[in-house]
Amino acid sequence: MKRGRLLGAYTGLVIAYLCLPIFVMILFGFNDTKGRYNFTWQGFTLSWYRHLFDIGGLTDALVNSLTIAVFATILSVVLGTTLGLAIGRYRFRGKAGLDLMLFAQIATPEIVLGASLLSLFISLGVPRGYVTILVAHVMFCIPFVAITVQARVVGLDRSLEEAALDLGATPLVTFRKVTLPLIMPAVLAGGLLSFALSIDDFVTTSFNAGQTSTFPLWVYGASRIGVPPQVNVMGTLIFVVGVGFAVVTAFSNRQTRGGREVGAR
């Protein structure tokens, strides 16, 4: 028992260590700092929350990040879900190649993903900007959606869809009324993951951004001359919204699944 408690305390310590930078970020968003050197505590202020959008470049970068994340999520959910359905449900010529491609993409270091895509754009003379960032984000999100959906499809009971088809539903109606609701949790999970990956991506984006800036790129660029407190505030708001969203999703999952799980135990 004693050993269990010791390890428990240790776990608490490591979690505190993991959360320390988050705490620092939130705290220094309230720091009444003069100038751009937000390093020492000067007193409490809410002024950075009031002047959140005062830095034009930063606001533009945040807007870019948010819109790219939305578009990338929509595109990769559509492309990844259909791909996941194909490899999860059917056996066909070329499936092994697709599996290998997905695995290779996930195993490839991000810097190589970014660098090779940049090589393509350079060789073809494609100017880098908003669209190339979006293309890159969709590329690295698709495998995550596809693998999540595939895992769900493999465990599905096909007889439900066969019943729908036997009752005269067209394949499209069957997909919309039967298959899609069944795989919805995986589609949602894949979508959330895509959004999170896209909004936080730095490496691949920095290679393919050209003159366009995103939130992580702007912060990285500003780090040499001192990061303004607005960055802390935006980081805090993204953190709060993200955590809130995750908690709500987890609780609603628990409620819908709860009965079954209790029954199983």
Partner 1 sequence: MRSLRSRLAPYWLALPGGMWLAIFFVVPMFFMLSLSLQTGDTLNGYQQTFHWSTYSDVLSGYHVQFVRSIIYAVIVTSLALLISYPMAYWIAFRAGRHKSTFLFLILLPFFVSFVIRTLSWQFILADNGIVMGPLKDLHLLPQDFHVLATSFAVICGLTYNFLPFMVLPLYVSLERIDHRLVEAAHDLYAGRFAAFRRVVLPLSLPGVFAGVLITFVPVASDYVNATILGGTHTTMIGNIVQTLYLTNNDYPAASALSFTLMGALLLGIFAYARALGTEDVMQTAAAR
Report the residue from 185, 216, 237, 249 that binds partner 1 according to the rule CB under 8 A.
216
Q: How far is the CB of 163 from partner 1 (least distance, A)?
A: 16
Residue of the chain from 106, 163, 184, 248 that contacts partner 1 (CB under 8 A): 106
Tell me the window of 50-58, 156-164, 177-185, 224-232 that interacts with partner 1 (CB under 8 A). Answer: 224-232
Read off the tokens for 205.
């984006």
Q: Which of 68, 69, 118, 187 binds partner 1 (CB under 8 A)?
A: 118
Minimum CB–partner distance for residue 222 and partner 1 (Å): 9
From candidates 194, 215, 229, 233, binder to partner 1 by CB under 8 A: 215
Choose one: 156-164, 183-191, 201-209, 255-263; the region binding partner 1 (CB under 8 A): 201-209
What are the Cα distances from residue 219, in Å, to 42, 48, 236?
22, 16, 14
- Cα–Cα separations (whole angstroms), residue 134 to 44, 138, 145, 221: 39, 6, 16, 20
Angle at 150 between CA 148 and CA 154, to 5 degrees: 125
| Binders of partner 1 in range 26-85 (CB under 8 A) | 28, 38-41, 78-80, 82-83, 85
Q: Is 105 in the site for partner 1 (CB under 8 A)?
A: yes
Nearest distance in Å: CB 47, partner 1: 19
Q: How far apart are CA 147 and CA 85, in angstroms?
A: 9
CA dist list (Å): 163 to 90, 104, 144, 156:
18, 37, 30, 14
Cβ-proximal residues to 182 (8 Å cutoff; 6+ apart), any chain: 152, 156, 160
Enumerate the β-bridge partners of residue 31: 44
Helix or strand (DSSP H, E) at 115? helix 110-124
Stretch of residues binding partner 1 (CB under 8 A), selected from 49-57, 155-163, 182-190, 202-210? 202-210
- Binding residues for partner 1, how many (CB under 8 A)? 87
Q: Name which of 16 and 184 has its Cβ closer to partner 1.
A: 16
Query: Which of the ranges 12-20, 49-57, 155-163, 256-264 carries the binding residues for partner 1, by CB under 8 A?
Result: 12-20
- H or E element at residue 151: helix 130-154
Q: Which of residues 242-261 bind partner 1 (CB under 8 A)?
A: 242-243, 246, 250
Q: Which CB sits closer to partner 1, 46 or 106?
A: 106
- The Cα–Cα gap between 121 and 132 comes to 8
For partner 1, the closer of residues 67 and 119 by Cβ is 119
